[in-house]
Structure 1
Amino acid sequence: MQVSLVNQDFSLESIVPFFQPIMDLSNNTVWRYECLARLVNFNQPAFVPSEFLFLVERRHSVARLTETIFNRSANYFRNINVAWSVNVSLEDMLDPEISQFLRAQLHNYPNPQRISIEITVKNALENLDVFNEFASVCKGLNIGITLDHFELSTCDIGQVLALPVDAIKVSGTVMQGIEKNAGLYQSLVSLFQQASMNNIVLIAEHIEQLEVLEAMKNLGFRYAQGFYLSQPKSNLE
């Protein structure tokens, strides 16, 4: 779908959360849902952020987008005892209004421990002071931190595991060549060992084929997410 198909005059009211499950492979149940922003226009397929985010940024409305998705997700799950997460950007972490917004939203919210904020490894490592300050806010609100887009080939395991996080998403692309790369395999073993010692959950993401899913299960992953397991959906049915 071409970006040009997005109406320049779209409203943030048209952006809604779609829910993609993270599965518990030990019993084939949903562990939590990631709430993903989608732009819904009448009689058109939902647009993904890469197709409309440039319009949000042009309007300087990134914070409003984050607030919209968080608020709608929070309302959706308020009376449903299911864990869920939303994504925040570097711009969100730098914006003091987002921290104030989270405090206001979670005042009297039931079981905020169900909520997790997802932040890319790149944004966390390249802006450590900003990340640590934002993580402190989240911890104070009893919500978790998940690191997204972790790549074994490009990330320092020790540096990442030293961060104040609860979970790390490991890309399914780790399977590419792992059988012929002893160093990569040992890095993965080390990641599991250190994550366990730090009480950090590992999640296999970008699972798009059965072969990759089975391989990740054999490597020890209990949690997984990807199109093979489920596409993002507008409801939990």
Structure 2
Amino acid sequence: MRDPKTNEVTLPGKFIEIAEEVGLIQSIDHYVLHHSIKKLAELQKQGSKIKFAINLSGAVVDTPVLLPYLKKLIKRFDVDPTALIFEVTETVAVSNLYQAKLMMTAIKALGCRFSLDDFGVGFASFNYMRELPIDIIKIDGIFIKNLDINADDQLFVKALIDVAKGLGRKTIAEFVENEAILNILQEYGVDFAQGFYIGKPQQNLPVETH
């Protein structure tokens, strides 16, 4: 978000929590969904097979307006929903497990997929992997950043990947910062990796408001 006074870019970590507290987070969710799906539709019409992973806030679990709004956007922009992957954190999903399962199941019925972000920090993570209708597990970076030197992390990550495979889930490792970590993850059979060793974030072009 650009600061109207200084014109400097303000990172989400500084305003998301405030937006949640004052009730503006739903507007941000809808803004991100609108522009993401619009851009994805443009790329699909150009023949691109790219997939978009979109983070959803904690507020979406209990809101009844997300599903109809998402249906409206998919129809309006004539986008292929199989290219959409929605991410929610493990903490958000398990805060209301029953409601999260309902929300995920309804959105997956549209053809979209779900990814569980920051996975592994919860007390009963392996149970949630089984209970929630998710397609992708994102292993929290706290277990990855020292993977090349920490035997405990190696044990946990390997077990997590093995269980995920057994349940038919794909895995993504966060915080892959060097070649040694990537090599270990490849040996364990991780499906995808993200981090500075793979590629650094790039600044996006400005988007119009609506």
TM-score by length of 2: 0.80
Aligned length: 197
1:149–1:169 CA contact under 8 A, matched in 2 = yes
Are 2:10 and 1:47 equivalent residues in the alignment?
Answer: yes
Corresponding position of 1:15 = none
Higher relative contact order (CA 8 A, sep 6+): 1
| Structure 1 residue identity aligned to 2:30 | E
Please give the alpha-carbon distance, in whole angstroms, between the structure 2 residues aligned to 1:60 and 1:197: 40
Please give the alpha-carbon distance, in whole angstroms, between the structure 2 residues aligned to 1:211 and 1:45: 36
Name the SS for the 1:110 alignment partner. Answer: coil
Could you list the runs of 5+ residues in structure 1 that have no partner in the other structure?
Answer: 1-38
Are 2:44 and 1:76 equivalent residues in the alignment?
Answer: no
Aligned-residue identity in percent = 21
2:90–2:122 CA contact under 8 A, matched in 1 = no
Please give the alpha-carbon distance, in whole angstroms, between the structure 1 residues aligned to 2:154 and 2:134: 23
Corresponding position of 2:56 = 88
Q: Which has the higher helix share?
A: 2
TM-score by length of 1: 0.72
Name the SS for the 2:173 alignment partner. Answer: strand
Residue 220 of structure 1: CA displacement? 2.1
Corresponding position of 2:208 = none
Please give the alpha-carbon distance, in whole angstroms, between the structure 2 residues aligned to 1:55 and 1:153: 24
Residue 102 of structure 1: CA displacement? 0.9
Name the SS for the 1:125 alignment partner. Answer: helix
Q: 1:152 to 1:96 in 2, by over 3 A?
A: closer
Q: Which has the higher strand share?
A: 1
Corresponding position of 1:206 = 175
Are 2:130 and 1:167 equivalent residues in the alignment?
Answer: no
Corresponding position of 1:18 = none
Corresponding position of 1:141 = 110
CA RMSD of aligned residues (A): 2.7
| Structure 2 residue identity aligned to 1:198 | L
Could you list the runs of 5+ residues in structure 2 that have no partner in the other structure?
Answer: 44-48, 206-210
2:171–2:192 CA contact under 8 A, matched in 1 = yes
